[in-house]
Amino acid sequence: MIDRETLQRVFELTGAQNRWRLKETVNLIASENVMSPAAMYVYLNDFMHRYAEGKPFKRHYQGTKHIDELEVMTDSLMGRLLDTDMVDLRPISGTIANAAVFRVLAQPGEEAVIAPVQAGAHVSHTKFGTLGALGIKQVELPYDEERMNVDVDKAVKIIEERRPRFAVLGGSVYLFPHPVREIAEAIHSVGGKLVYDAAHVLGLITGKVWHNPLKEGADAVTASTHKTFPGPQGGVIFFSDKDLYKEVGKTIFPWFVSSHHLHRIPATAVVALEMMEFGHDYAEQIVRNAKRFAEELAARGFKVLGESMGYTTSHQVLLDVSPQGGGAKAAALLEQANIIVNKNLLPYDPPEAVKNPSGLRLGVQEMTRFGMRESDMEVIANFFERVLIRGEDPAKVAKEVTEFRSHYLEVHYGYTLKDVEAFNYVDALRLLS
């Protein structure tokens, strides 16, 4: 007998999520984004049912001729964005991309130097995450609190003294680019490699507002495809080192991935084409919005990090809300007001503060994709002030947030349903029903 009650609840919860997050809330989670209608349409496809272990045209399964062509095409499109012909899209996340590269570059017991958590390191870089799971020893690079970045001079000395197998820059919480060229020169001088984790800033790099790490000396760039790069959830690795490209390619499968979630490949191709056409304008607007948001928050009495450096050059804004009760409390109040953020440790927080850190990590990339500009950042900053400083009822503010959001429901900087219809893809979708 069909459990219609449970089935109905599944549909209700899914519909509620779509309505709430796509139409009623202001989403400022720095690690999220939305796809265009065109990318969403090709995301729904028969590939989601299939396997294609191995590399294109060298699979362990039959029936892969179309994904073989699509994957080669998408690798090429992604490579054009970073000016390399060595790309691997098979990692299903940025963390898996990191794991595959780390596994090749060092053996258990050997050392890697990583940017400190304060400078943006993702948990996968650390002894508490992927690095530790692989048995690789973590050596932390020194941090310059004034510049909110890796301390280059001290980092070079550590690299020369420890002679690690590789260094990792980039990460999940950083406002300013890490010193790629300087660290690349240092790690190469001791025979090591440089990995740059561009998960958060891939869209800024492909949009040409941040420098391409491959051109500054990185041997591999790992990334997610769903943050400032507005694609489906997944991972990717770009290479400048041919030997490393080959070795990592042999490691992704079978070490870390069997099926690599084929249905995301055509959507990634669509987004790569969108970034070629709209990426620069999109990335520039992201940075303008982030700067304006930081300035407006500071003007309203919030403690915004990075003031001496101009607050931010990325999609992120870091806010110290310890005067407002800490990150956990502030995030919960904002959610009640239909503003979605995440609590986050700040550079001066002790590790044990993780449950209620001082900070909020804010990202403007998704709201920028929905067409918001600098003046809209002023409106959002005002909502923050009303909820967290003036102490207004979040439920009352929530209604105004939803009304404000109702003017921003269309995805910008991407292809539309008309573009989909022009290629008769809607007819193809009917084959799935």
Chain segment 83-98, per-residue pLDDT in tens:
999 999 999 999 999 9
CA distances from 2 to 7, 8, 157, 433 (A): 8, 11, 67, 20
pLDDT in tens, 28-46: 999 999 999 999 999 999 9
* Torsion sign over Cα 340, 317, 211, 91: negative
374-384 and 394-405 are packed helices; what angle lies between their axes, rounded to 10 degrees? 170
Position 172 pLDDT exceeds 50: yes
pLDDT in tens, 44-81: 999 999 999 999 999 999 999 999 999 999 999 999 99
Q: Are strands 54-55 and 193-197 parallel, antiparallel or unpaired?
A: unpaired
Mean confidence (pLDDT) of the chain: 94
CA distances from 212 to 75, 203, 328, 335 (A): 17, 11, 35, 35
pLDDT in the model for residue 199: 96
What band does 427 get if pLDDT is binned at 50, 70 and 90?
Answer: low
What element of type H or E holds 390? Answer: none
| Cβ atoms of 209 and 284 closer than 8 Å | yes
Size of the chain, expressed as the number of residues it contains: 433
Instruction: For the full predicted model, state whether its pTM sits above 0.85.
Output: yes
pLDDT in the model for residue 428: 54
| Cβ atoms of 132 and 78 closer than 8 Å | no
| Cβ atoms of 319 and 359 closer than 8 Å | yes
- Residue 134 CA, distance from chain mean position: 23
What band does 305 get if pLDDT is binned at 50, 70 and 90?
Answer: very high
pLDDT in the model for residue 424: 61
Least confident of 113-127, 235-249, 276-290, 402-416: 113-127
Share of the chain above pLDDT 90, in %: 87
290-312: buried (b, 16+ CB within 10 Å) or exposed (e) per residue? bbbbbbbbbebebbbbbeeeebb
pLDDT in the model for residue 433: 46
What band does 429 get if pLDDT is binned at 50, 70 and 90?
Answer: low
Q: How far apart are the first and last CA of the chain?
A: 23
pLDDT in the model for residue 51: 94
176-191: buried (b, 16+ CB within 10 Å) or exposed (e) per residue? bbbbbebbbebbeeee
Q: What's the CA angle centered on 236, arms 234 and 242, to 5 degrees? A: 160
Cα gap 180→152, rounded to integer Å: 10
319-357: buried (b, 16+ CB within 10 Å) or exposed (e) per residue? bbbbebebbbebbebbeebbbbbbbbbbbebeeebeeeb
| Cβ atoms of 101 and 248 closer than 8 Å | yes
Note the CATH number of domain 46-262.
3.40.640.10
DSSP conformational letter for 17: H
| Cβ atoms of 174 and 120 closer than 8 Å | yes
| Cβ atoms of 103 and 134 closer than 8 Å | yes
Q: What's the CA angle centered on 160, arms 159 and 165, to 5 degrees? A: 50
Tokens of 326: 């800490």
pLDDT in the model for residue 10: 93
HSE of 381, CA atoms in CB hemisphere, 13 A = 24
pLDDT in the model for residue 430: 54
pLDDT in tens, 332-390: 999 999 999 999 999 888 878 888 999 999 999 999 999 999 999 999 999 999 999 99
What band does 121 get if pLDDT is binned at 50, 70 and 90?
Answer: confident
Q: Which residue has the tokens 């400078």?
A: 119
| Cβ atoms of 384 and 297 closer than 8 Å | yes
* Torsion sign over Cα 328, 333, 336, 338: negative
Tokens of 120: 């943006």
Domain extents for the chain?
A: 26-36+278-405, 46-262
| Cβ atoms of 304 and 287 closer than 8 Å | no
Cα gap 155→113, rounded to integer Å: 9
Mean pLDDT (whole number) for 104-126: 90
Protein fold of 26-36+278-405: Aspartate Aminotransferase, domain 1 (3.90.1150)
Closest CA to 119 of 171, 185, 183, 179: 171
DSSP conformational letter for 423: T
